[in-house]
Amino acid sequence: MGQVPENKTKYPYLIVGNGNLASHFHHYFNLLGIPHHHWWRQSSGPFQSLLEKSERVLVLISDNAISSFIQDNRSADDARIWIHCSGILSLPSVESAHPLLSFSDHLYKLEMYKKIPFVVEKSSRSFEEIFPGINNPHCTIPSDLKPLYHAWCVMSGNFSTILWEKFVSFLEEYLHQPRSFAYPYYESIGQNLTSAKKPLTGPFARKDFSTIEKHLKALSNEPFLEIYQAFNNIFNNS
């Protein structure tokens, strides 16, 4: 019996990495039925064999490893489309599409993935050429604007998460309540940001300087006093 010929069909994507973002892309493509390969350093098979069977390489590893990985594995005559999703990196001849979402170890439903906005670094290729098979909201950004854009992503998402984690710890330690106690408050803020014309509430919105002074006094021995002062100064001087 002759040997079965190897399948020469190329898949649209090769996902590189096994962190949260790679796991989410892998799950999203599975939900959409998009054929793809998936490789990470602990994979059983060699990277090059999967590379030869792929049309696009989606490099979803840490920012400080992306450039060297591509340089080590991309040949000079490689016509494949290489893509990374870093919000701050700009690499020559590599497409960049940053998904504007927070990715934890909890996978989402298809409806959530379809809503993810992508901020794509301006290039000669359209979003449809970079990501065939998905139809997410997207916009383009010039390379020199990416650091400022990513700084705002970190401030709005990561900084607010730090504050919420500290607030939940306060509830647990001083009020002996579980983190779920704060969920209605959290959800109401999200609802206000989504639908209210003036989402800000509380003493800053009311210009209740007496209450703000009491807050500053209560926080006098807390490291987050500087955070409150900084927001107070910015808000009142803007």
Domain boundaries, the chain: 13-141, 148-237
- pTM to 2 decimals? 0.89
Q: What pLDDT score does 9 carry?
A: 66
Distances (CA, A) of 95 to 9, 38, 65, 86: 23, 19, 16, 10
Residue 196 is encoded by which pair of tokens?
């209210």
What confidence score (pLDDT) does residue 63 get? 96
Q: In what order do the strands lie in the sheet with 81-84?
A: 36-39, 13-16, 56-59, 81-84, 95-99, 118-121, 138-141
Class of domain 148-237: mainly alpha
Domain 13-141 has CATH 3.30.70.360: no
Q: Enumerate the β-bridge partners of residue 38.
A: 15
Residues (pLDDT < 50) of the chain are 1-6
Residue 8's pLDDT is 57
CA distance 37 to 22: 11
Residue 147 has what pLDDT? 97
* Per-residue pLDDT reduced to its tens digit, 121-149: 999 999 999 999 999 999 999 999 999 99
Same topology between domain 13-141 and domain 148-237: no
